[in-house]
Each structure stands twice: as C-alpha cells, then as structure tokens.
Amino acid sequence: MATQRVVTATINGRERSFLCEPRQTLLEVLRDVLSLTGTKEGCSNGNCGACTVLLEGKPVVSCLVLAVECEGQSIETIEGIDTKDGLTPLQNAFLENAALQCGICTPGFIMSTKALLRDNPNPTEEEIRFKLAGNLCRCTGYDKIVKAVQDAAQRRCGSGCGCNG
C-alpha cells in the first residue's frame, strides 16, 4: 500500500491537516476522514455535481480531485457557507423557493451558485441554466432552483463579507 500522506489545507477558513492515501478522492476524505458529510456522493464520475466544493475559489467536483492534490490549497464546503448569524440569503432563497425535495443535490447547487453569483451577480435565466448544467437534480425539474438563484441574486448579503449569498 502506498504510504499515507499528511496533507495540510485550509478548509472552511481553518487550517487542517489530515492523513490520506494517494488514491483517496477529496470527496472520500471530506466525508470519511474529516466527517464533513454535507458534501454528497452522487455519481462519483463527475457528471452530477452533487459533490461540488470550491477549491481555490473555483467550483470542482470533489470526486474527481485527489485529496493529495490539495496540499496548501483552500477548500470551501457547504459546512462553510452559513454564518454565526444563521443561514445566508443564498440558503434562505433555496429554502423559501422550495428549490429542493430529497436534498442530495442541494449542497452542490449551493456551492456552484455561490461561485456563479460571485462571478456574475445578475445572471439571466439562460446563463443560470447554462452555468448550472454541471449540477443534476432528479426531483424538482429545475424551475424552482432557477427561481431560487434569481431570488438569491436579488438578495444581498448584508454582512459585507463579499459572499454574494
């Protein structure tokens, strides 16, 4: 067996070190080593987007990232989205627009939407549908998700944290 490695990364703003094998994906390590089970496993081959996290600020599917690649990098997961004051406007928009049913896809949608609204604060419906095509939902039919993203774009996070959510 290949030697386990110590990897140090900033996860949700906090520097953390963990042990992993080279063959372990970031998804496996988040869930099984770090107990950050908010990130969901869907297809495990990069198609569904359920396991989306932000790596160095960019949305990636954590099933197609090796945890050892993340040495020295910053990772943001769904657990890092809310604030001490509770849910962010982005989360509330999903909740109040009923943009979820079973909820497996929701953490991935929230992470992708965070990156989308950061780069494009006022996307059109077409842009939302195109940019979120890497996230699949088998329950909602997408319309409520698109409405939630439009709603989130209208709400502005008042904390000044720049999260756009």
Partner 1 sequence: MLDFDFACPTSLADAIEVLAAHNGSARPLAGGTDLIDYLRTGRLSANMVVDLKRIPELRVLTCGDNGLTLGAAVPCCEIYGNEQIVKNYSALSDACSIIGGLQIQSRASVGGNLCTSGPAADSTPALIALNAQVQLVGKGGSRSVAVEDFCTGPSANVLQPGEIVQQLTLPAPAAGSGSHYRRFIPRNEMDIAVVGVGASVTVADGKITAARVGLGAVAPKPLFAADLSQWLVGQPTSDATYKEAGERARQIISPIDDHRGTAEFRTHVTGVLVERVLREAVARATA
Binding flags for partner 1, 83-122, as an x/- string (CB under 8 A): -----------------------------x--xx------
Q: Which is nearer to partner 1, 21 or 83 (CB)?
A: 21
Min CB(45)–partner 1 separation in Å:
5
What's the one-letter identity of residue 9? A
Q: Which residues contact 129 (CB under 8 A, 6 or more apart)?
A: 142, 146
Taking CB under 8 A as the criterion, the residue among 34, 36, 65, 146 binding partner 1 is 65
Query: Which of residues 42, 59, 80, 107 is near partner 1 by CB under 8 A?
Result: 59
Q: What residue type is 84 in one-letter code?
A: K
- Classify 156 as helix, strand or coil: coil
How far apart are the C-alpha atoms of 1 and 92, rounded to whole Å? 45
- Strand 74-76: give its sheet, edge to edge: 14-20, 5-11, 74-76, 52-55, 58-61
Q: Is residue 66 part of the contact set for partner 1 (CB under 8 A)?
A: yes
Is residue 61 at the binding interface for partner 1, with CB under 8 A as the rule?
Answer: yes
Q: Which of 58, 86, 154, 162 binds partner 1 (CB under 8 A)?
A: 58
Rg, Å, the chain Cα set: 16
Measuring CA to CA, which residue among 142, 85, 69, 68 is closest to residue 112? Answer: 142
Query: Which of 25, 71, 19 lies closest to 51, judged by CA?
Result: 25
**Footprint on residues 31-50 left by partner 1 (CB under 8 A):** 44-47, 49
Region binding partner 1 by CB under 8 A among candidate stretches 10-18, 75-83, 128-136, 155-163: 128-136
Using the minimum distance from each CB to partner 1, give the nearer residue, 5 or 87: 5
Q: What residue ranges bind partner 1 (CB under 8 A)?
A: 1-3, 5, 21-25, 44-47, 49, 52, 55, 58-61, 63-66, 68-69, 71, 112, 115-116, 129-135
